[in-house]
Structure 1
């Protein structure tokens, strides 16, 4: 597609992976989670190594999808280990560091998206900002992007105000998931105008990617992005 000019030369193929915590906390019996976790992490590290061995590093990126982790960090889900916030940070750092340095890597902080609804509705961006800051300061490699969702109904200053405390490295891009096709360009620009009061230089995205949508909705949604940038 790049050779045909359909896709820009700088585009990378993004491989989105759920964190081990996300899968274990959802799919393993509570009494067995701590026992299963090390083996699952080793298997995930092997999978990332296989991806890195098979594909050109300058053509791919890896995103960690951080759903149960995010919700546990802010206290909305029970955790299977003590000191849940420190433990979530340690696990996200560990997963980030298994990705080779020359493969672009980022995190999608997620509140779920089954049927277009969150598992938990964020009150504001403070837990996301705090988690992003801790991971950014603790990791031993670059983070290329962090994505934070913005619910369609939240265009108020209290939701965005915690962004003033965001402390990412210069190499890290912030993407705000404020693009919703339900209220179109006007709604998106309203949320952007509020975000602009507290941060600049961010990118825009949908709240939770392009999956679980009717195929015919993708074209208009991409066109909406284009009008907003």
Structure 2
């Protein structure tokens, strides 16, 4: 058994409940700046509910129409599926701006101003969080047309990455791709409207090819991140009302996807973030981490910080994680929450950020 790895550094998934990007940068830097390599803008404004604002981008595309059913309202957004209406060939669908590049450019201006003023530590990168194309397609397109619409949306999201790369110097940029919907496919669960069918792969949820296909889709977007910029992935089991869409049996599927991403990408992956449910302090959950096959340049971050049980709970989860990572030859890993905490109470933000620092100090 290798020496147990140390715990160093924190990672913020993306959403943070603050009114503006500047407010996010200030509270994050004040409470946790010394432990972070990069800071997100908190996914403020229309991005508050992750991808739900993307419905407007689908509505603006000629050739797509909502199903003629009663609205399906979630958090103020209509989630009625869209279908091809026959007026435009699927190969000719054109999406306009998706909003991610515009938001990144605006937030980066605040970021650099605050960093130049010393409010953000020098050397900290600006983190941009993007969904994989699969998530909005699954949320907004009816199953019958997902395969046909996917290429157009994927191209639009790739164009957003290109615009972000043009606006933000690579040395300042860190891009995170969020992969949550993928695990609903892998687990064979329903996100509403019946169990998901993988239109992009052969076989069912248990088919080994599905992991490879899921990684391939995300890798296509990741290749657009320029050399010199950092790249990371947030692997997720959902966070609606601080609850997963299904509780993972263990970290097995998370590790399988992480390994597959590394195998399919020629460029470095700087970090991968994995969730740890609050009740899992048992060795069985963490055992698959022994199969972690990513290179040493990739830092794993475990989402084992929970506000409900603080430092003691995090330490109870760190202990078996250390044992499993040691078996994989990992010498360092970082910590975070399971997902973003932008939809939690705003008055909990500062204390939750501080909790990361306390956990790192206590873990030694």
For Structure 1 versus Structure 2, the TM-score category normalised by the shorter chain is over 0.9
Matched, 1:62 2:181: no
> Which is bigger in relative contact order (C-alpha 8 A, separation at least 6)?
2
Match of 1:185 in 2: 311
Match of 2:137 in 1: 24
Matched, 1:100 2:231: no
1:108 shift after superposition: 0.3
1:3 shift after superposition: 2.5
Secondary structure of the 1:95 match is: helix
Match of 2:238 in 1: 112
- Given the two structures, how large is their TM-score scaled by the length of structure 1? 0.96
Matched, 1:207 2:333: no
Q: 1:218 aligns with which of 346, 349, 353?
A: 349
Q: Which moved more, 1:208-217 or 1:138-147?
A: 208-217
- For residues 155 and 161 of structure 1, what CA distance do their matches in structure 2 show? 11
1:70 shift after superposition: 2.4
- Given the two structures, how large is their TM-score scaled by the length of structure 2? 0.61
Contact 1:101 1:142 in 2 (8 A): no
Matched, 1:13 2:87: no
Q: 2:256 aligns with which of 130, 139, 153?
A: 130
Match of 2:199 in 1: 80
- For residues 286 and 212 of structure 2, what CA distance do their matches in structure 1 show? 24
Contact 2:211 2:256 in 1 (8 A): no
Aligned pairs, how many?
229
- For residues 187 and 262 of structure 2, what CA distance do their matches in structure 1 show? 17
Contact 2:211 2:260 in 1 (8 A): no
Match of 2:290 in 1: 164
- For residues 85 and 56 of structure 1, what CA distance do their matches in structure 2 show? 33
Query: Residue by residue, what CA displacement relative to the aligned partner does 1:28-75 show, whole Å, maximum 9, x if unpaired?
Result: 011110111111111011111011111122222111010111231344
Query: Residue by residue, what CA displacement relative to the aligned partner does 1:140-179 show, whole Å, maximum 9, x if unpaired?
Result: 2111110000010111000001000000122111000000
Contact 1:160 1:198 in 2 (8 A): yes
Matched, 1:39 2:152: yes
Q: Which moved more, 1:203-212 or 1:69-78?
A: 69-78
Greater Rg by CA? 2
Secondary structure of the 1:8 match is: coil
- For residues 167 and 259 of structure 2, what CA distance do their matches in structure 1 show? 32
Secondary structure of the 1:206 match is: coil
Query: Residue by residue, what CA displacement relative to the aligned partner does 1:179-218 show, whole Å, maximum 9, x if unpaired?
Result: 0011111101111112111114110001002321222111
Secondary structure of the 2:323 match is: coil
Q: Which moved more, 1:131-140 or 1:156-165?
A: 131-140
Aligned-residue Cα RMSD (Å) equals 1.3
1:2 shift after superposition: 1.7
Match of 1:197 in 2: 323
Q: 2:266 aligns with which of 140, 154, 162?
A: 140
Give unmatched runs, 5+ long, in structure 1: none
Secondary structure of the 2:324 match is: coil
